[in-house]
A and B are shown apart, each in its own frame.
Chain A
Amino acid sequence: MEKMIYLKNVVTLQLNEKNCSGCGICMVVCPHAVFSMNNGRVRIANRDACMECGACAMNCPTDALTVQAGVGCAAAVINTALGRDGACCCVVETPGDSENIRGKICC
């Protein structure tokens, strides 16, 4: 399987090693194997593979990880910039609001 990496040096993922307890839950939830374990401490081994989904920060019990989580979807960025809500992936339709469902489809 070819390895897919998006743009380099853009990701907002931050690890505060002082807070890390080494529980490893971030390694469990990360879908792109961004982390590795070193002597009972987690480190960011593959930063550019991060897609900022936010799973690691959400599940870190000691708040050692921060990331500006979001969906990497151009249509969502455009919709947000144009002030349209709904946007992209995971559009939730509300009754009588057919404009939202038309949105770009991610996922």
Chain B
Amino acid sequence: MNQPFIIGSVHTTTGDIPKISSDLRWPDHWGSIKARWGVGRMHYTVDPGLYALGAPGDRSPVLVTANYKMSFDRLREALPERNAWILVLDTNGINVWCAAGKGTFGTDELVRRIEFSQLNRVVSHTELILPQLAGPGVAAHKVKKRSGFKAIYGPIRAADLPAFLDAGLKATPGMRRKTFPVRERAVLIPIELVSVLKWSLVILPSFFLLGGLGAPSGFWHGAMNDGLFAVLNLLGALVAGAVLTPILLPWIPGRAFSQKGLVMGLITTLFITLFGAFNLNIRQDYMNILAWFFLAPALSAYLAMNFTGASTYTSLSGVKKEMRWAVPLEIVGGVAGLTLWVGSRFVS
């Protein structure tokens, strides 16, 4: 595998171990950007195994991570001028937390990787530092029993590692809390948009053209007004559910994500209706306008509901409870809106 971040090797009793740099270069940054947009995201991997960061010796700490390239990069960039061993587990290119949830970043893989890499011959101590978010997959007490290595949970964020190491492997309470600040929410937006792109490419032109069908004022006039109004409303729903809801998440009323999406959808629909009323020659019948007050919020509620998977604090029980009322409501809203809109084409 092409691994340009390897800058040499470190000789140990078990052979040469690839040496890596803590400096990220432009291909690393570009790789992160592409992964955020879903490009090659499922093949963005690092070969599992042991790596040497800096010039580690037999007493240097061992840090464990996943073989998702972005996880690996966050770890090494956090440790400039440090010497450490980095043990990369095979998580099928999935990040630490998700892989732990699936069990691929788990006790079995960790124990196997310790044996494969002959870690006991590389270091003279028996401590491993795991990311805290490996917890759902790794049972520290079982690792100790099976491998002899003591798994110590480090901070959640790699950026806190220097402070954790300097404090004698002690984490502050803040290092142990998973927050979800606006910056972290914003970087997840592209992947949400990419996931609906394929549908948008079909649905948006369809509504645009359907807006022109049977328009008394002629096809193009209909498309450029009612069709465009439909497209704007659909884009508004997309922005409300997949952009505004993630960004404004803690400040939108309600706890259920669908409710937050619904609120944002109603607001954007209101603005787009006002815009349409003053700037477009849309049909002034109630059905055409009311249709979007059903369809767009239903859509944005659905999109916002899907953001539960990206969030860092939603429980499966909670999501199931939310979905029991949200999914039927989204379907009813969508069908009602569509019926009104199609109906309005026949009423003139």
Query: Which of B74-82, B215-223, B319-327 forms part of the interface with chain A?
Result: B319-327
B116 to chain A: closest CB distance in Å?
Answer: 20
B38 to chain A: closest CB distance in Å?
Answer: 7
Residue A15 lies at the interface, judged by CB distance under 8 Å to chain B: no
Evaluate contact between B311 and A72: CB separation under 8 angstroms: yes
Residue B9 lies at the interface, judged by CB distance under 8 Å to chain A: no
In the complex, chain B residues whose CB is within 8 Å of the CB of A70: 101, 315-316
Evaluate contact between B101 and A71: CB separation under 8 angstroms: yes
Evaluate contact between A53 and B101: CB separation under 8 angstroms: yes
Evaluate contact between B319 and A73: CB separation under 8 angstroms: yes
Evaluate contact between A32 and B92: CB separation under 8 angstroms: no
Evaluate contact between B92 and A7: CB separation under 8 angstroms: no
Total contacts A-B at CB 8 Å: 171
Given known pairs A6-B315, A107-B310, the reply for A90 and B191 (CB within 8 Å) is no
In the complex, chain B residues whose CB is within 8 Å of the CB of A107: 95, 97-98, 309-310
Q: Is the interface of B mostly helix, strand, loop or mixed?
A: helix
25 A–B pairs (Cβ distance < 8 Å), ordered by A: A2-B250, A4-B249, A5-B255, A6-B315, A28-B171, A30-B176, A31-B132, A31-B156, A33-B173, A51-B315, A52-B317, A69-B101, A70-B101, A71-B101, A72-B309, A72-B311, A72-B313, A72-B314, A72-B315, A72-B316, A75-B306, A89-B101, A92-B102, A93-B42, A105-B41
Range of interface residues on chain A?
A: 35 or more
Residue A20 lies at the interface, judged by CB distance under 8 Å to chain B: no
Interface residues of A, Cβ cutoff 8 Å to B: 1-2, 4-8, 10-12, 25, 27-33, 49-56, 58-59, 61, 68-78, 88-93, 101, 104-107
